[in-house]
Amino acid sequence: MASTDPVVRILSHDGALAPTPPAEPYVDRVAALDEQALLGLLTDMVRTRAVDVEAANLQRQGHLALWAPSYGQEAAQIGSGRATRPQDAIFPAYREHGVALVRGVDPLDLVRMMRGLTHSGWDPAEHGGFRQYTLVIGSQTLHATGYAMGAQFDKATATGDPERDEAVLVYFGDGATAQGDTNEALVFASSYNTPQVFFLQNNHWAISVPVERQSRTPLYRRAAGFGMPGVQVDGNDVLAVLAVTGALLDDARAGRGPALIEALTYRVGAHTTADDPTRYRTAEELATWTERDPILRLRRHLEGRGVGRELFEGVDAEAADLAADLRRRVLTLQDPPVSLMFAHVYQEAHPLVAAEQAWQAEYEASYGEQA
């Protein structure tokens, strides 16, 4: 886990403002943030955690099929999500609950999908360009690169107007770097100089496979082989993530091409609620990373700036309300009619789907006749 690589870090583990030398080009981007803005970032992270913990509890109580916890990755997600502009398109994997929340996705929509009630969850056009989750590892990197190429063809980027120019941000994990799709996406992005940032959350595990098995070299260094900048950032430092992602998204918007960010973080929870991480990792490793909790780090920083306890209590109370509201609403969810599964197979009516739907309706009705 120890690394000699030049990580961009602005807040030290104890919350002190202590930029590492590689942070120098980025630190100005966050130097002017006032307490209000920092509390905003803290609020986003605390809300994300509250929703995440509540959703995992709901799964344990049988209210949803599966949940992939984001616990521990809040700084990586909030820092990068808050670095985007409204016109940007965001392609998540399946754990980016923090990014979803900052782009206006209702947590109930995340849960509804994981309960199996919807096929995809939300309309990206109505949720700040935040696209659907994908469980197919790495596939979203290709979708993102294709979309970024489209933005170039549409002349929606690199016009010189940062208020209008689009960039694309795509999330993937350390395990996804071993997937063909991800490598193809990086090749195409580089070849076509797409307006795109590849945001790799290295949470150190791909289910039970450690990152050391995925790569013999630190992952950010792979960017050089594709011909793009690669930056390794402390993914538990929300200020460093915000600054680096903002800078590289600006480069992408201005036509300076794609880049790769490796955010070093840790998946504190299970891979999903179907996984038991005690089978493959040690309590010591977990303890090391819980010490580096991203929320605690920003909170310590704010305490150092004299922010009082009552403000933190307010943040915690608001997040607890959000989680309680989620629980209340989940308990009222109804199953959709079975007929809905035939509704979105094709855009237009299809005779085979119509026949299957008719069969299903007849089958269901046969129960009624017996009763």
Ligand X SMILES: Cc1ncc(C[n+]2csc(CCOP(=O)(O)OP(=O)(O)O)c2C)c(N)n1
Q: Give me the active site residues, please.
A: 267, 271, 280
SS (H, E, C) 157-183: CCCCCCCCCCCEEEEEECHHHHCHHHH
| Cβ nearer to ligand X, comparing 203 with 245 | 203
Query: Choosing among ligand X, Mg ion, none, which partner's interface includes residue 343 (Cβ < 5 to 8 Å by kind)?
Result: none
| Cβ nearer to ligand X, comparing 26 with 94 | 94
* Residues of the chain by 3-state class (helix, strand, coil), percent to 5: 50, 10, 40
- What separation in angstroms does the CA of 91 have from each of 47, 95, 135, 198, 203? 21, 11, 12, 10, 18
Q: Which residue is nearest to ligand X (CB)?
A: 173
Does position 49 interact with ligand X (CB under 6 A)? The reply is: no
For residue 261, what are the β-bridge partners? 199, 231
- What separation in angstroms does the CA of 16 have from each of 10, 65, 253, 304? 8, 41, 32, 8
Q: Which of 175, 172, 204 is nearest to 288 (CA)?
A: 204
Contact pick of 17, 207, 270, 320 for ligand X (by CB under 6 A)? 207
Query: Choosing among ligand X, Mg ion, none, which partner's interface includes residue 112 (Cβ < 5 to 8 Å by kind)?
Result: none
- Residues 252 to 271 in contact with ligand X, rule: CB under 6 A: 267, 271
The whole-angstrom separation of Cα 260 and Cα 276 is 31
Per-residue contact string for residues 140-179; x = within reach of Mg ion by CB under 5 A: ---------------------------------xx-----
How many residues bind ligand X (CB under 6 A)? The answer is 14
Does position 136 interact with ligand X (CB under 6 A)? The reply is: yes
Least separation in angstroms between CB 173 and ligand X: 2
- What separation in angstroms does the CA of 28 have from each of 31, 67, 240, 246? 5, 37, 11, 11
Report DSSP state, residue 17.
B
Q: Which stretch binds ligand X (CB under 6 A): 153-161, 205-213, 251-259, 290-298?
A: 205-213
The residues of the shown chain that bind ligand X, judged by CB under 6 A, are 95, 135-137, 173-176, 203, 205-207, 267, 271
The residues of the shown chain that bind Mg ion, judged by CB under 5 A, are 173-174, 203, 206
